[in-house]
Amino acid sequence: MTLLQVMPEDDPTRILLRTREPERIATSLADCSVALRHWPLRGSIAAGTTAGDVLARYRPEIDDLCAREGLALVDVAQLHPEPGAEWATRAATARKAFLEEHRHAEDEVRFFAHGTGCFYLHLDARIHAVVCEAGDLLSVPAGTRHWFDMGPRPEFTAIRFFEREDGWVGDFTGDPIAGRFPRLDALLATDATDATDATK
């Protein structure tokens, strides 16, 4: 289930808000100009599901979103667990590539067709950790400082949308902040119940 946990940028141990309520998550993110929407899932996805198949399943939604939001390019990023050390090394390398805070010149738009990943959005002196799951469409506004954790055993299939060929290029802030905040596995492992909303 989609999860939002909000923490002050200077205190990763303090939880201002932790909720799995879809309405509350969407409202809280919308207050920061971040859109979290949902598409109905079109079947299950496994390791053998090709990018072409994934795109074909969601073609009507993709075309509609691209037309409305000026997005021109679409691709599929996916990782599925495999046995063996080679995959583990590949997964660790992929995970590390997105774990440093950065921003982009255009919106970062991702639809999760399968699996899980966590976006950490650095907004208004707070970190909004958004654990996305299958069916979530997240739009991170251009210029938003953020990082992404796919977890220690990455499993996800995400459709990525771009305005331009080089739109995905990251501008790294050099701030080591990401290292201080709980990773995806820690966020999901915690037994913290929904926290009182202290974000107001």
Residue 144 or 157 having the CB closest to Fe ion: 144
Q: Which amino acid is at 76?
A: V
**Least Cβ distance, residue 100 to Fe ion (angstroms):** 10
Least spacing, CB of residue 148 vs Fe ion, in Å: 6
How far is the C-alpha of 132 from the C-alpha of 116, rounded, in Å? 6
Nearer to Fe ion, 105 or 195 (CB): 105
Q: Of 108 and 136, which has the nearer Cβ to Fe ion? A: 108
Judged by CB, which is closer to Fe ion: 16, or 130?
Answer: 130
Residue 98, number of CB atoms within 10 A of its CB: 17
Alpha-carbon span 25 to 68, nearest angstrom: 23
Alpha helices by DSSP H, listed for 70-167, are 85-97
Q: Which is nearer to Fe ion, 41 or 77 (CB)?
A: 77
By C-beta, is 115 or 117 nearer to Fe ion?
117
Residue 117 near residue 148, CB atoms below 8 Å: yes
Residues that bind Fe ion (CB under 5 A): 108
Strand partners, 123: 126
Amino acid identity of residue 31, one-letter, is D
| Separation CA 129–CA 147 (nearest Å) | 9
DSSP label of 195: B
Q: What is the SS3 assignment for 158-176?
A: EEEEECCCCCCCCEECCCH
Q: How far is the CB of 59 from Fe ion (least distance, A)?
A: 25
CB of 110 to Fe ion, least distance (A): 9
The residue number with the shortest CB distance to Fe ion is 108
| Min CB(117)–Fe ion separation in Å | 11
Residue 78's nearest CA partner among 119, 40, 50, 120 is 50
**Minimum distance from residue 143 beta carbon to Fe ion (Å):** 11
